[in-house]
Amino acid sequence: MMNAGPITLERLDELLSAYGADEAGWPAGERQAARELIAASAEARRLLEDARALDTLLSAAPVEEPSEELVERLMAARPREVPKELPQARRGAGGAKKGGGLRGIAAALWPYGSSAFPAGALAASLVLGIALGTSTGISPIATNSGATTTAAATADTTDDQLIAIALADPSYIEEWTQ
């Protein structure tokens, strides 16, 4: 099948019946022999024309372009670039020169780490202060009645949880720096 010698009409018919009239689709090893037979034989040319007519018909089968919605769905789901560098304010005092604005000022004030940290500490202190104020009875809400004691106990638990979250979860501090 793959020899370079001449081919028969029967073999040419098989080739055309399988691959059609476009010689680019014929097996490379038989392409030249098929060309030579077609050039030499009227019957071979008739077979070729017959195959070409079927090719023309088949090429009329419908095909649509991908919809814009599909393209946009795929673009939305594409891989995203992972940032390689941290924000400039984290680079210390040197970065402040390039940073500018509030970020540059924050870096100058807090040259040893994230400028978000003092803000986080301030927020945590605020929460802690409210919690202490509530649980030590400084708040005018805390009275001697049993009902309010129960309410204060519940408030203690909730505030403890808030403080724990504020101090233990570093991820949201990261978010501030974005």
Least separation in angstroms between CB 68 and other proteins: 11
- ∠ CA 102-107-109, nearest 5°, is 95
Residue pair 36/64 in contact (Cβ under 8 Å)? The answer is: no
Burial class (CB in 10 A: 0-12, 13-18, 19+), 161: exposed
| 3-11, 64-72, 121-129, 132-140 -> range binding other proteins (CB under 8 A) | 64-72
Least separation in angstroms between CB 87 and other proteins: 19
Q: Is 99 in the site for other proteins (CB under 8 A)?
A: no
Least separation in angstroms between CB 76 and other proteins: 11
Least separation in angstroms between CB 51 and other proteins: 8
Least separation in angstroms between CB 15 and other proteins: 8
Q: Is 58 in the site for other proteins (CB under 8 A)?
A: yes
Q: Is 147 in the site for other proteins (CB under 8 A)?
A: no
| 14-22, 37-45, 105-113, 118-126 -> range binding other proteins (CB under 8 A) | 14-22
What six digits make up the tokens of 33? 């022999």
Q: Is 68 in the site for other proteins (CB under 8 A)?
A: no
Residue pair 159/130 in contact (Cβ under 8 Å)? The answer is: yes
Q: Is 76 in the site for other proteins (CB under 8 A)?
A: no
How many residues bind other proteins (CB under 8 A)? The answer is 36
Q: Is 157 in the site for other proteins (CB under 8 A)?
A: no
Residues near other proteins (CB under 8 A)? 1, 14, 17-20, 24-25, 27-28, 53-67, 70-71, 73-75, 77-82
